[in-house]
Structure formats: C-alpha cells, structure tokens
Structure 1
Amino acid sequence: MKKIGFLSFGHWADEQGSLSRTAQDTLLQSIDLAVAAEELGADGAYFRVHHFARQLASPFPLLAAVGARTSRIEIGTAVIDMRYENPLYMAEDAGAADLISRGRLQLGISRGSPEQVIDGWRYFGYEPAEGETDADMARRHAEVFLNVIQGKGFARPNPQPMFPNPPGLLRPEPHSPGLRDRIWWGAASNATAEWAGKLGMNLQSSTLKDDENGKPFHVQQAEQIRLYRAAWAAAGHAHEPRVSVSRSIFALMDDRDRMYFGRGGKESDQIGFIQSTRSIFGRGYAAEPDQLIAELREDEGIAEADTLLLTVPNMLGVDYNTHVIEAILKHVAPALGWR
C-alpha cells in the first residue's frame, strides 16, 4: 500500500495553451486542485518552492489556505530551499499552518537547487559563515529550525513584558506539537540521505539525483533509500520513517492524453551536470494503463517508498489535472497493489 499525492511546481505563463496565466491563477487553482484531489481519495497535495521565478515561492499562505479548505489530505512542500529561510520565522509560519490544518502538514525542506539568479539567498539577507558553502548554510538553517519546532523554551523573558508570560524560557508561537516528526529532507546524494536519517527527518527523493555509480536512476534511488533507512535505524529513532519519491506518470486514457503525452521522448534516464556535479534524471512514464502497470512494476525506487508524488502539469488546469490523478488512482494503482 502506498500513499499517493500530487506535486505541483506552480508554473504560470501568459501564453497560448496555459490555463494559469498569473500568480493569482496558480495560487487559487492550487487550492482547487487540492480540494479535488481530496475528493478523489488522494493522500497528499504538495508544492515546490522556487524564488525569483514565475512559480510558487511563498508556501505558507498557500498551505494554510489548503488546510482551511480540506479536512483529510496531507499538505506539504517538496521542497523549501533552506538557504533562503529564517528558521525562527519559519517555525512560526509552519506552526500556524499546521494548526490550521489540524496536524496535516508534511514539510519538505532541502538545500535547494540552482536558482534563477546568482546567489539569490544573498538578496534575502543570508550569507554563509566563514568556511561554509551555501549547502552548509542550508543544513545549518535546517538544524536550527528542527531544534526550534521541538517546542522547548530558549529565549529569556523580559521582566516587564507587555503581556504576562508563562513560567520559564520562551519559544516562538504558535507551537504545533508533533510537527517535528513530519519534517522531510529532499536529498540528492546518498550522504545527505544518511544525514537526514541520523537527524530523524523523513526522506524525499525526486527524479534528480547525483550519479554516484552509473546504475539506472531507479536502482540508485532504491539504494539511497536503503542507506537512509539504515542510518535511521542506527540512530535509534523511536518512530518509523517515511520515504516519498516523485514521478511524472501519465495514463493515456483518451485522445487528449495522447496529444499531450503520447509522443514519447522521456522513456530513458538522462545524464547532465548541475554546478559541476554529474547528475542523473529519472525517466517519465506515459502509456496505456496495461503497459504503464508493467513498466512501473520494474521501478525499484517506487517499490522502496511508501509515498508516491505525481508531478502534475498545472498550467493545463484543474479539470485536466484532476483527470490525470484520477486515472492513476483508479486504473493503475490498484493493479500494482498500491491501493
């Protein structure tokens, strides 16, 4: 059995064929898609964060709005770039969004990916400390955030406050109990997956990974997940970890599907370089349901995960993306034993 949700990058563009022309379109349609996905029985609505781009960037207002409009579906990110984040302010935002959703927040964070501008985090007021890389800074921000959301007081109270204080040291408010166990780390390498396991974060693994041994993407991803789980077990955490993988998967059910995705071209892994690191990009899937089922049975990365996030082409609109999700839930997932 697997939890199945969607992952939206939240693109918008004022161009022919796009049903998401503005930022407002994308935000409101994201909420509507989460509502529709919940009605279908999907398990999660996840959103990507990119700064300086015509994509979703400020996640917490959106997450809070989705939380207020839904009642069951998990809501989350995949991922928030921690190079850009103030960990304490983020703790307040995350606590509020989690309370509004009544404990359904699944917050994916990470070092982030190459952005639209050079060192964009500098414009947000952040600089790596001496001897740090930007990746080191992201992990430092993440560790501060993890410590803060545990809910322990650390700030010395003013002896003459504007409002009465509870006894002891103070913490950022609002605090949401249990949120610490629902933080995920987006790992591109085996080493950062093991680091996440040691710190007790869940694991998000996407369709991009450092190419560490030349094997097919799905095999490397499965190996990464096993290393993560071993690190988690060695650290002795009390609860079970969760692991998600994301995929582009389209069941070709009608002529519209075949027009959009039936032409092929992404049936194999791709190799490229990101900031001089050799990377492997996992294949996409688009086929008639029977063929799709046979191909997905061979995907070792999906087999190792408990959660599958379906990347959706959000600019094609809410109705079409609801159809894409429904096709997988009804015509593919049951045959694979996922539902």
Structure 2
Amino acid sequence: MPPTSRPLRKLGFLTIGLFDEADPRRGHESTLEIIELGERLGFDSAWLRHRHLQYGISSPVAVLAAASQRTRRIELGTAVIPLGWENPLRLAEDLATVDLLSGGRVNPGVSVGPPMHYDQVKEALYPDTAEAEDFSYERVRRLLDFVRGKSATDFSGVEGFEVFSDRVQPQSPGLGSRLWYGGGSLGSARWAGEHGMNFLTSSVVKAERPEETTDFAEIQLSHIRAFRAAHPDGEAARVSQGLVVIPTDSASPAQRAKYEEYAAKRTPRTTSPQGPARLMFAPDIVGASDEIAERLHAHAAFREIDEVAFALPFTFEHEDYVQILTDMATKLGPALGWRPTG
C-alpha cells in the first residue's frame, strides 16, 4: 500500500440531520446524540449540512449551539451554509455567539450563489429586493469582514443609557481564522485562498473544461493546489476532504446489503459530467476499512490533505450511523494513520 504524502491528522464526519415531519424533535435529538458519540469516539470534528424547506437541519447554527453545551472538545462545523439565504451581519453575530459558548470550537463553512429554486422562493425570502440581491463572493467578503472585526457602521459611542459599537458584537477571538469556503471549482478554490479562508472540498466538483480530464481525483487535486498556491500560508493552508465513505467492519449482513445498494444506485452519476454545470460526483466507497484505506491512499487528492470530514449517507437509520462512526474511529481512522484525541 503506498503511503499518503500527508499523515491523516484530523478525522471528522458530516451529517444532514434528517427528521420526520411528524416528529422533528426526535431527528434533531438523533443528530445531537451522534455528535456526542463522535466526541466519545475521539473524532476531531462534526459538521452539519444545511437544508431549507426540506426535512433536514435548516438552522445548523442553532443545533451547534445545543451541541456546544453537550460536548467539551469536538470541533463543530457547517458544511455548508449557503449565504444566499443569509444576512451576513446577522450571521456574523450568531456565529460569534455560538463560538464563544463553545469555547472557540466553531468552524463555519459557507458558499455563495442564488438559493436553490430561487424563482419559487424569492418572493418569500426577498419580497422587496429579489432582483437586487448580490449572490456573488461579495456576500462572503462581507461576512469575513464582520467576523474579523471590521467596521459595520460609522456610528459608535453612548446614546442615552445605551452603548453602541461600530463592530459586530460579540467578537470571538480566532473565529476569523476558522472560516471555511465550500467550493467545487478552480475559481472558488483560488478566491478562498486569496482571502485567507480554509477550503472544504466535497464529493462534488466541476469538470469545467470539456477538453480536460474528467477524472474526479485529478480535478479535486487541481483545486487543492490552486487554493494553496493562492493562500498566504501556502502548503500549510487547511483543506478538508468530504467523500462519502462507509466502512462495514462491524455491519450486519442486512446493513452491508443496504449500504451496497445505496452506493450502486448512486454510481451511474459518477461516470460522466452531469448537467449544464458539468458536475462530477465521486463514487461512494463501501467496504472493510483496510479496503477503503487502500483506495484512499491511491486517491490523488486524498494524498495531499491531512483532514477529512467523511459524509454520512443521507437516508440511513440512527443505528447505522452508530455502526459507521464506530468503525470509522476504531478501524478506518487507524488504518489511515489517525489516532483519536482524548
């Protein structure tokens, strides 16, 4: 087995936090229990996806606030918050508040672009400004500035009995260095690097030029290298990879069959670019931890990162996630050279 060029330093996982419309509290509790389990198993980080008008977590910052009071060590991230749904100033306040409550463990991941199904939701979301909203990188820059302490207003001082700040309050030391951009293109990778962010790369990338490779790992590798080339920290700039990885070491026969069926249904989309955006999807990796480790060691992009946030499949049951996370921490992580933190 060829060695990785970077030993795996941080092991994390990502969940969508699905729930039943008839009992949404149970689904949210399940997510919190999974995060607590992750901490007990020694994972370095737990990340939440973001879903609006669906049966998944719509308010990850609120869920992370709850998780911050039920854990003490594990880092808590979002992968990712789509900023098209957010006011950057208000989001900066929420993120700083939860970061302080967590003791400095929040890792906000964000992305830009119009909200999904914008034509159908714009009247509810931005009834007076739908056509004027800016969904470019400028929205990220505003969030960065507010989190990093730049002025939000030209007014400060005392007015009557109230004291006003020209900066977003609270300010949480270090949060500005823990902001991540979730990107799938060369342009987003470079932008994140130029602005001193960390970079989240997932199981989806864009094959932007038809004449170039459609090999997922090679495309992802080009994004990682472009990000680090643009970042002030160069090769030390943080990148986290988020492939869908399902170890089966302790799975029951029924679970193995379910996992393999899940991956098989998703495999056709991985063979060629999908849609006008030419999206390339990485195959889900299912199998024993030693087999998965061998495949990852051969993955061109994995060989250049030392952090992962393996994505949990969307539609499994709570006990499936317990099994998968336990195998990740006790079998797969060590096979990749990782050691749990206490």
* TM-score normalised to structure 2 length: 0.86
Question: What's the CA shift string for 1:41-76, capped at 9, x where partnerless?
Answer: 111110011211111111211011111110110101
Q: Using a 3 Å threshold, how does the CA distance of structure 1 residues 143 and 32 change in structure 2: closer, same or farther?
A: same
Conserved 8 A contact 2:15-2:48: yes
Q: Match of 1:305, as an amino acid?
A: I
How far is 1:289 from its partner? 2.9
How far is 1:215 from its partner? 3.1
Structure 2 Cα separation of the partners of residues 177 and 59 of structure 1: 21
Q: Using a 3 Å threshold, how does the CA distance of structure 1 residues 189 and 122 change in structure 2: closer, same or farther?
A: farther
What is aligned with 1:149? 147
Conserved 8 A contact 1:10-1:56: yes
Partner residue of 1:2 out of 6, 9, 34: 9
Structure 2 Cα separation of the partners of residues 8 and 174 of structure 1: 28
Structure 2 Cα separation of the partners of residues 270 and 87 of structure 1: 37
Structure 1 Cα separation of the partners of residues 98 and 311 of structure 2: 23
Structure 2 Cα separation of the partners of residues 210 and 284 of structure 1: 17
Report SS of the residue matched to 1:195. Answer: helix
Report SS of the residue matched to 2:69. Answer: helix
What is aligned with 2:299? 299
Q: Match of 1:296, as an amino acid?
A: L
Structure 1 segment 1-339 matched on structure 2, within 5 A: 1-13=8-20, 22-111=23-112, 115=116, 118=119, 120=121, 123-125=124-126, 127=130, 129=132, 137-155=135-153, 156-157=155-156, 159-165=158-164, 170-212=166-208, 213-232=212-231, 236-237=232-233, 240-253=236-249, 254-263=252-261, 265=264, 266=266, 269-274=270-275, 276-313=276-313, 315-339=315-339
Conserved 8 A contact 1:82-1:139: no
Stretches of structure 1 that go unaligned for 5 or more consecutive residues are 15-20
Structure 2 Cα separation of the partners of residues 161 and 322 of structure 1: 55
Q: Match of 2:149, as an amino acid?
A: G
Stretches of structure 2 that go unaligned for 5 or more consecutive residues are 1-7
Q: Match of 1:93, as an amino acid?
A: D
Conserved 8 A contact 1:85-1:141: no
How far is 1:159 from its partner? 4.9
Conserved 8 A contact 1:148-1:171: yes
Range that drifts further, 199-208 or 136-145:
136-145
Structure 2 Cα separation of the partners of residues 39 and 159 of structure 1: 47
Conserved 8 A contact 1:251-1:257: no
The size of the alignment, in residue pairs, is: 321
Q: Using a 3 Å threshold, how does the CA distance of structure 1 residues 116 and 7 change in structure 2: closer, same or farther?
A: farther
Report SS of the residue matched to 1:333. Answer: helix
Structure 2 Cα separation of the partners of residues 112 and 29 of structure 1: 30
Conserved 8 A contact 1:251-1:289: yes
Q: Using a 3 Å threshold, how does the CA distance of structure 1 residues 227 and 119 change in structure 2: closer, same or farther?
A: farther
* TM-score normalised to structure 1 length: 0.86
How far is 1:116 from its partner? 5.0
Conserved 8 A contact 1:82-1:110: yes
How far is 1:306 from its partner? 2.2
How far is 1:102 from its partner? 0.4
Report SS of the residue matched to 1:38. Answer: helix
Structure 1 Cα separation of the partners of residues 136 and 86 of structure 2: 8
Structure 2 Cα separation of the partners of residues 240 and 277 of structure 1: 30
How far is 1:117 from its partner? 5.6
Q: Using a 3 Å threshold, how does the CA distance of structure 1 residues 207 and 142 change in structure 2: closer, same or farther?
A: same
Structure 2 Cα separation of the partners of residues 162 and 317 of structure 1: 53
Conserved 8 A contact 1:314-1:321: no
Question: What's the CA shift string for 1:288-321, capped at 9, x where partnerless?
Answer: 3332222222112222222211222465343331
Question: What's the CA shift string for 1:90-139, capped at 9, x where partnerless?
Answer: 1110011100110000100002587256363553225354xxxx7x5242
How far is 1:255 from its partner? 1.5
Structure 1 Cα separation of the partners of residues 57 and 258 of structure 2: 23
Q: Match of 1:231, as an amino acid?
A: A
Structure 2 Cα separation of the partners of residues 138 and 33 of structure 1: 34
RMSD over equivalenced CA pairs, Å: 2.4
Conserved 8 A contact 1:52-1:117: no
Conserved 8 A contact 1:78-1:108: yes
Structure 2 Cα separation of the partners of residues 76 and 122 of structure 1: 30
Question: What's the CA shift string for 1:195-228, capped at 9, x where partnerless?
Answer: 1100011000111111133331112101110111
Aligned-residue sequence identity (percent) comes to 28
